[in-house]
Every structure is written in C-alpha cells, then in structure tokens.
Amino acid sequence: MSRVDERLDEMERTVVREVPDDITITDVAFEGPELVIYTQDPRAFAERGDLVRHLASELRKRITVRPDPAALDPPREAESDVQAVIPDDAGVTDLDFHQDTGEVIIEAEKPGMVIGSRGSTLREITSATGWTPEVVRTPPIESATVSNVRDFLMQEREDRRDILERVGRQIHREEMSDDQWVRITTLGCCREVGRASFILSTPETRVLIDCGDKPGAEDEVPYLQVPEALGSGASSIDAVVLTHAHLDHSALVPLLFKYGYDGPIYTTEPSRDLMGLLSLDYLDVAAKEGRTPPYDSEMVREAIKHTIPIEYGNVTDIAPDIKLTLHNAGHILGSSIAHFHIGNGRYNVAFSGDIHYSDTRLFNGAVNEFPRVETLVLESTYGGRNDYQTDQEDSERELKKVINRTIERDGKVLIPAFAVGRAQELMLVLEEAMREGDIPEVPVHLDGMMWEATAIHTTYPEYLRDELQERIFHDDTNPFLADQFNHIDGGEEERQEVADGGPAIVLSTSGMVNGGPIMSWLEHIAPDPDSTLTFVGYQAQGTLGRRIQNGRDEIPVGNSNGRGRQNTVALNMDVETVDGFSGHADRQGLENFVKTMNPRPEKVLCVHGDESSVQDLSSALYHDYNMRTFAPKNLETFRFV
C-alpha cells in the first residue's frame, strides 16, 4: 500500500471515529488540496453545523462532503425544495444538478443570501435534498468569458475530477529526500520587464511561478528549455502558480500543456477567467500580425481545466513540503502575492508579482504582513531613483485638465490602456468627474476587451474595495453601468463615426500601443492637432508607446506584413503623459512596501524592471534598510538555507 493510501486510510479512520454513529462514511479521497468525504447521510452531516469545521481542524485539511448518489432526491424534486429554501431576494438565475458529484450549482445575483449566516442556508439545502450546493455569482454585467469558463468546466467535470484526484495524490505523496535546501531559478523578467517566470525548488518539489511573454519582443520568451526548467520534461514541474493574469505573467502558461505539463495551476478565480480572456486575445493578435502563435485555444482550455482556484489568505498544501497562500497585491483584479511556506517553516519566500502598495479606487493596497518571510522577490517596474509618481489625486486633477483643455477645442482624448485594471480605474475616475461636474459629460468609448474585462470585475466584487462592492450590487449605482460608457462593438465603422463626431474620450487597448484597436484609433485621430494622446501607464522598451514618448511623430498604418514599404500617418496630436495611474507601486511605494513589511525579509531579489531600475532599487534597499539585496540576471539560481 502506498504512503498516500495509508494516509487516506488513517484519515478515514479518524473521520469514522469523529462522526456520530448515525452517519455512514463510504469513502474519503483527496481532490487537489482538499479532502472529500463521501457519506450516505448528507442530511445528518449538514444538520451538525460544526462537524465539518471540527473535522477540518482535526485533520488539518479543507473538507468537502459529498453524498452517495443513493442519498439524493431526484433533481426535479430537489429543484423546488432548493428554491423553497433560498430567499427570493437572492435572485437565483440558474440551477444545475450534477448526479455524478451530488452537487447543485446555484447561480445567483446575491450569493451571500444563498449561503446564509456561516453557511446556514447551504446546510438547509443539503438537509432538505441531500445535494451539496455550490454557489456562484450571476455577473451583474453579462460576461461571455465567465459563462464560457463555467460552461466548459461543467462539461469537463469528469476529466476535472480525475485531474484533482491525481493532483491530490501528488500533494500528499511521501517526502523522499533527507536533503534540505530552497532555491530560486530565474527564467525571465530579470533586468527587463516581461516574460516573468521563476522556479522555486526544494529537493522534493519544483514550482513554476508565472510564465509570461515580453511585450514588444515577442520572440523573447522565458527560458523554459534549460535543464533546470522543462529540460527534463514538463512533468518535472509539480505545480504552477500564477500571480495575476497580465500577459507578461500568464501568456505562456497554456504553452506548458503543449509541452506535456499535466499538473495544477494555482491562482485566484478572477485570474483564471482573465487568463482565459487575455490568452485567447493573445492568440488572436498573433494571428492578425501574421505570427504563428506558440499554442492554440485547446491549450487555453487545458489551462483552465487544470486551474485550482484559491482565495486570498487560504493556506493551501501544494506539495508534501510546500504550503501556498495568495495575498492581495492591489495591482489588478485577482492579482496576488504568492507566499510559500516551505518544509514546515524551514524557509519562507514571497513573490510579489506586480504590486500597488497604496489603495486605489478599485483595490485595497498590497498586503505586506506575513507570518514569516525570509526572502522577497520584488517587482521593480518603478524602482529607478527618479521613478516617483504623482499622487493619484494630483494625477486625476491633471487628467481632468487635459480632458477639459482637449474638449474645449473640440478634440478627442485617446488613452491607450490595458484592458484589465487601468481601464476600470479610469472609468471610475471619469464617472465621478462627470457626476461631480469636473469635466463635461462626453461619451467615453471603450474599445478592445475593456467591456468584457469590466464585466469580469463585476463578477468578483469580493476582490474590489468595499465601497465599490456595495455600489456594484445595485444597477442604479454601479459606476460601470453609467450612461456615458459605450462599448465599441461595431468595429471600424463605429470607430470612424466616433472619429468624425464631436468631443469624446476613447480608452483602447493595447496599453503600450503595440497592436490592437488603438492602432485604428491613431490612424483616424493622429493627424488632429486638437486631440490629445494621453499615456497613463508604463510603456516598455521596444513598444511604440515608448517611442512616441521619446518623440516619434509617425504612426505606421495598414498591414505591411513585411512586404513593401510601411505607410505612416503624421502624429500631430498633443502627447501627454499623466503618471500616477499606474497599477504598479512607484519607487516610494516599493520602499514603503518593504519598509513597513512585517516581518522585514532578510533578502530581496529585485526583478521585473529595466536594468537601471532593478540596480537602483537593489542598492537603495541595501543601503537604507541593510538587507541583502540582489539584481539577478535571467538563468541564475540562488540558494537559500
């Protein structure tokens, strides 16, 4: 009998001992990091409200109880019983009964009312019907991504069960090595912005953290082919952790499955959906630009199927010797700092991902309290000695000035923005500014995937700031539903109309002006000296955005495809940069994050920044806070412990 089976046996004995005699346990099994208990008496289980919590603390595992099929009411009968238990105000929009797992998926506008105080309504459902309820929110704004992901996961339910069982056995396998060490290998985003990818390894376990592309340098991908990465096969990786869905962290995660990876991806639920949205778009863009995408949409589906969503703050076993906890990073929806607790506390490492330290309109600032952290891997996008950004309040004032000035002369304000994060932050700024009369009520056009991304934000309000959550729950106060906002869904024709029309604000992807609908907008508006091109986010080296900031006054148009000469239009617009809206902490924010971090880490690896930014930040943290700091190169391995 394998060690895993022994362990399961032992857990089953504990469960049988701890539950009252009237509850029959038929099986226990690992499913991903959780323990699933099968019972013939789901109702009795549900009626003892504290039993699951008691077992969880006894077994030190998250626990799911599943009914034996025999114990279930038939779906038709159960459906009315479920409806009867849930308050009408909950706004149930869908019920799905899964005979194989005994689960009923309840989609509701107000999931909290389906759950009840401390889960009381859920337990009522089970005791009335035998079924195990799982609740999801009805998106306040319809999202094709969210419904596609949900439909897909339902359809792949059996496959997914197999994956989770296999992952569960892997997580709970026996530790093999007496050796003790902890290492970080850098596969990308060192002394550069883009292609974030790291391996955290112990003698037991190898975890890949992020796997992104490099905007403006599509051929520079993480060094996956080296022996210490996937050189000996993708199955040498035990787990993938995704800090957030931006393509410079996520774009090549699906590629791992093409290479034969078959393990779990740990990330937040919104990051999973955004990864789906952004990586499908990434394939689209590649195809449009005549590049062969490195994988196809089937691999995106594999990635989604292998994702095990975890919530902020939940400590999760991902290997025999590693516990993972994700913490809010304040950067985009679902973005997280990944904290690894290794070898029963032998060592603790936090990967910042991308962070914003202070609160924004959308998000609370990044968490910087941890039980323990010896080494911090810290983004340094704005780590340079002069990378101090304006306060957001001042930035908003500045942006409003730019808008007023432009609208006064009948121009248009064109803002390149990431679909995810900056766009929503700006929507909140613009909505308030118009509501309070600081700027005129002109149409705000959202192009690219912004509308869809916004819909996903409203699906996961738990990940937004409290005040904002509350507003989203009510259609009449949901800022994203304000009248000014127009989703560009009519393509070139609609763009032409807007360009020919009166004053307006246009938010369009890509955020760094390297492809996407922003190129069309520039083709229409670039020659107009009354309009303003307004940068509000970081422009990476090699992108057209950076070149425009540096003075370039021509925009390539049409599809040159490398054949013939590229046509251009003159860029006569005002070009303004309003900083302070970045999703990234500025130099001050990064220092504050480290200075107030609790506990203060011993070592900091400065990554995800231009060469001078990582060097500046590394030397500042060393001198000001007396920590051991490093500015790694790609392809290096650092050993701790």
Numbered residues of the known binding site for Zn(2+) = 244, 246, 248-249, 331, 354, 608
From the list Zn ion, its own copies, none, partner contacted by residue 636 (C-beta under 5 to 8 A by kind) = its own copies
Residue 248 near which of Zn ion, its own copies, none (CB within 5-8 Å, type-dependent): Zn ion
Q: Count how many Cα atoms sit within 13 Å of the Cα of residue 184 in the half-sphere of its side chain.
A: 31
Separation between Cα atoms, residue 96 and residue 194, nearest integer Å: 41
Which two tokens mark 279? 């990586």
Residue with Cβ nearer its own copies (340 or 538): 340
CA distance 522 to 285: 17
Stretch that binds Zn ion, among 234-242, 246-254, 585-593, 595-603 (CB under 5 A): 246-254
Assess contact for 337 and 243: CB atoms under 8 A: yes
Q: Which two tokens stand for residue 267?
A: 């990330």
The reply on whether position 323 binds Zn ion by CB under 5 A is no
- Name the minimum Å distance from CB 209 to its own copies: 16
List 588's β-bridge partners, or say none.
none
- Is the distance from CB of 253 to CB of 342 less than 8 angstroms? no
Helix axes 157-171, 297-305, angle to 10 degrees: 60
Q: What is the smallest separation between the CB atom of 608 and Zn ion, expressed in angstroms?
A: 6
318 contacts: CB under 8 Å, gap ≥ 6: 33, 171, 207, 238, 239, 241, 264, 266, 324
Question: How near is the Cβ of 347 to its own copies at its closest, in Å?
Answer: 14
- Any contact of residue 302 with Zn ion (CB under 5 A)? no
Whose tokens are 């239009």? That residue is 569
Picked from Zn ion, its own copies, none, the partner binding residue 288 (CB below 5 to 8 A depending on kind) is none
370 binds, among Zn ion, its own copies, none (CB under 5 to 8 A by kind): Zn ion
What ranges make up the beta strands (E) of 294-405? 307-309, 316-319, 322-328, 336-342, 347-351, 375-379
| Cβ nearer to Zn ion, comparing 202 with 325 | 325
Interface ranges with its own copies (CB under 8 A): 181, 183, 185, 206, 226-229, 231-233, 236, 633-639
| Nearest to Zn ion of 521, 535 (CB atom) | 535
For the annotated binding site, the residues are: 244, 246, 248-249, 331, 354, 608
Number of residues that bind Zn ion (CB under 5 A): 6
465 binds Zn ion (CB under 5 A): no
Q: Which one, 61 or 339, has the nearer CB to Zn ion?
A: 339
CA torsion sign, 18 to 20 to 21 to 27? negative
Closest to its own copies by CB, 233 vs 345, is: 233
Q: Identify what 183 binds: Zn ion, its own copies, none; CB under 5 to 8 Å per kind.
A: its own copies
Q: Determine if 195 is a binding residue for Zn ion (CB under 5 A).
A: no
Instruction: Closer to its own copies by CB, 29 or 184: give it.
Output: 184
Q: Does 246 bind Zn ion (CB under 5 A)?
A: yes
424 binding Zn ion? (CB under 5 A): no
Exposure string over 337-362, b if 16+ CB within 10 A, otherwise e: bbbbbbbeeebbbbbbbbbbbbebbb
Per partner kind, with CB cut-offs from 5 to 8 A, the member of Zn ion, its own copies, none near residue 328 is none
DSSP class of residue 69 equals G
Distances (CA, A) of 441 to 18, 414, 504, 532, 629: 64, 16, 9, 17, 49
Tokens representing 415 are 């803002």
User: Which residue do the tokens 């190169």 mark?
Assistant: 633
The answer to whether 569 touches 521, Cβ cutoff 8 Å, is no
- Rank residues 248 and 281 by Cβ distance to Zn ion and give the closer one: 248
**C-beta closer to its own copies: residue 196 or 367:** 196
* Dihedral sign for Cα atoms in the order 432, 435, 436, 441: positive
The entry of Zn ion, its own copies, none near residue 228 (CB within 5 to 8 angstroms by kind) is: its own copies
Partner in contact with 559, chosen from Zn ion, its own copies, none, beta carbon below 5 to 8 Å by kind: none
Residue 370 interacts with Zn ion (CB under 5 A): yes or no = yes
Cis omega (within 30 of 0) on the bond before 599?
Answer: yes
CB of 266 to its own copies, least distance (A): 21
Tokens of 148: 């596609």
Share in percent of the chain as helix, strand, coil (round to 5): 40, 20, 40
Strands 532-535 and 574-577: parallel
Q: Which does residue 325 bind out of its own copies, Zn ion, none, counting CB within 5 to 8 angstroms by kind?
A: Zn ion
Query: Of the candidates 407, 149, 409, which has an alpha carbon nearest to the alpha carbon of residue 274?
Result: 149
Helices (H), 306-418: 392-408
Among its own copies, Zn ion, none, what binds residue 181 when CB lies within 5 to 8 Å by partner kind?
Answer: its own copies
At closest approach, how far in Å is the CB of 373 from Zn ion?
A: 8
Distance between CA 6 and CA 468 in Å, rounded?
48
Are 608 and 405 spatial neighbours (Cβ–Cβ below 8 Å)? no
Residue 204 C-beta: closest distance to its own copies, Å: 12
Which C-beta is closer to its own copies: that of 6 or that of 636? 636
* Closer residue to its own copies (CB): 10 or 636: 636
The verdict on 248 binding Zn ion (CB under 5 A) reads: yes
Give buried/exposed letters for 607-636 (b at 16+ CB in 10 A, else e).
bbbbebbbbbbbebbeeeeebebbbbebee
Q: Taking the complex as a whole, how short is the minimal distance between the CB of residue 355 and Zn ion, in angstroms? A: 9
Q: Cβ 628 to its own copies, closest distance in Å?
A: 13
**Cβ distance to its own copies smaller for residue 199 or 455:** 199
Of 191, 306, 323, 339, the residue at the interface with Zn ion (CB under 5 A) is 339
Binding partner selected for residue 354 from Zn ion, its own copies, none, CB under the kind-specific 5 to 8 Å limit = Zn ion
Is 354 a binding residue for Zn ion by CB under 5 A? The answer is yes
One-letter amino acid identity for 456?
A: I
Residue whose CB is less far from Zn ion, 354 or 447: 354
Tell the smallest beta-carbon distance from residue 249 to its own copies (Å): 22
Q: Select the binding partner of residue 481 from its own copies, Zn ion, none (C-beta < 5 to 8 A, by kind).
A: none
User: How many helices (DSSP H) and strands (DSSP E) are in the chain?
Assistant: 21, 28
Binding segment for Zn ion among 112-120, 127-135, 350-358, 462-470 (CB under 5 A)? 350-358
> Which region among 4-12, 38-46, 139-147, 368-376 touches Zn ion (by CB under 5 A)?
368-376
CA 240 to CA 338: how far, in whole Å? Answer: 11
Residue 233: contacted member of Zn ion, its own copies, none (CB under 5 to 8 Å, by partner type): its own copies
In 3D space, the residue among 101, 17, 105 whose CA is nearest the CA of residue 67 turns out to be 101
- For residue 485, the minimal CB distance to its own copies (Å) is 46
Considering the complex, what minimum distance in angstroms separates the CB of residue 220 from its own copies? 10
CB of 233 to its own copies, least distance (A): 7
Nearer to its own copies, 35 or 256 (CB): 256
Q: Which stretches of the chain bind Zn ion, using CB under 5 A?
A: 246, 248, 325, 339, 354, 370
